[in-house]
Amino acid sequence: MKLAKVVSLLGQSHLVCDAGFGWVDIGDLHHQPNLLSEILHGSDPMGRAKTMVEGKTLWDPQLIQGFLAPVDHQEIWAAGVTYLRSSQARQAESEGAARFYDLVYKAPRPELFFKATPRRVVPAGGVVRFRGDSKWSVPEPELTLVISPKMKIVGATIGNDMSARDIEGENPLYLPQAKVYTGSCSMGPCILLAKNPEDLSNLDIHLEISRSGIKVFEATTSTSKLARKLVDLVDWLGKENDFPEGVYLMTGTGIVPPDAFTLASGDRVKITIQGIGTLVNSVE
């Protein structure tokens, strides 16, 4: 079952739900602006969503003008070096500090960092950016966990953790500048509700980058290649931290384009995660 925030052709914002047969309007976000969080933070998000679609008629997809970012007031955090491919790439780009990435890949404590506020999240169909002072920037496709205030995984969405590899590679202390800037975080188009975190532990992730209509990079990985359990990442995030509005956690990337590749203005980034959908962004 999926939830999404959309804008209709009339310019109105709605929360819609897909129970497997198409989108159904379950709430006017003008009158219920926090409806998504109310569902996500309840005792049984999937059960409530199922009840809300009963007896409702399907929406014509042509009535949807576009998707909003599937977030209300939640902070967005991220984990790093959670896949072997990511560990290898980070070591290669950070010659002087390579051993630290190897150590964090093997250590009990994961790398966790703040990524974005809700206002900064770019929706599906929106424009992501690479930094003007970076010569080596890439998208990072990531399963993004949707977590309730009680630190329970209630679902997942698709995340694009834009990264300036050269800036972080110059000095690991530059990570906030490499990772956190305007247009560096995209999520969507929807949330897949999940009763069991294990349901998210073996999903294919596919990245495709096109330039002038021509595919220039493509790769696939799986969340089964994560070196850490999803619940462990959430447990570490919750240590000495509280999230009364809930929180989203990007879980790291297992796809890293070759060192010779960098994004260019006009590129099209397409991320597909099995069971969730496809997040598409243009680049500038």
Superfamily of structural domain 75-283: Fumarylacetoacetase-like, C-terminal domain (3.90.850.10)
pLDDT in tens, 98-136: 677 778 888 999 999 999 999 999 999 999 999 999 999
Please indicate whether residue 279 or residue 95 has the higher confidence score (pLDDT): 279
Q: Which amino acid is at 205?
A: I
pLDDT in tens, 232-269: 999 999 999 999 999 999 999 999 999 999 999 999 99
Secondary structure (DSSP) of 23-76? EEEEEETTT-TTHHHHHHTSS-HHHHHHHHHTTPPBPPGGGEEEEPPS-SS-EE
User: With contact defined as beta carbons under 8 Å apart, do 180 and 79 qualify?
Assistant: no
pLDDT in tens, 22-75: 999 999 999 999 999 999 999 999 999 999 999 898 998 888 999 999 999 999
Domain boundaries, the chain: 2-67, 75-283
Q: What is the pLDDT of residue 100?
A: 74
Using CB atoms within 10 Å of the CB of residue 152, give its burial: 0 to 12 exposed, 13 to 18 middle, 19+ buried: middle
* Predicted confidence band of residue 86 (pLDDT cuts 50, 70, 90): low
Whether the predicted pLDDT of 144 surpasses 80: yes
With 0.85 as the threshold, say if the pTM is over it. Answer: yes
CA-CA distance, 232 to 237, in Å (whole number)? 9
H or E, element range at 283: strand 277-283
Whether the predicted pLDDT of 19 surpasses 70: yes
Q: Give the residue among 275, 249, 244, 187 at the shortest CA–CA distance from 37.
A: 244
Stated length of the chain: 284
pLDDT in tens, 206-226: 999 999 999 999 999 999 999
Whether the predicted pLDDT of 94 surpasses 80: no
Whether the predicted pLDDT of 284 surpasses 80: yes
User: With contact defined as beta carbons under 8 Å apart, do 166 and 199 qualify?
Assistant: no
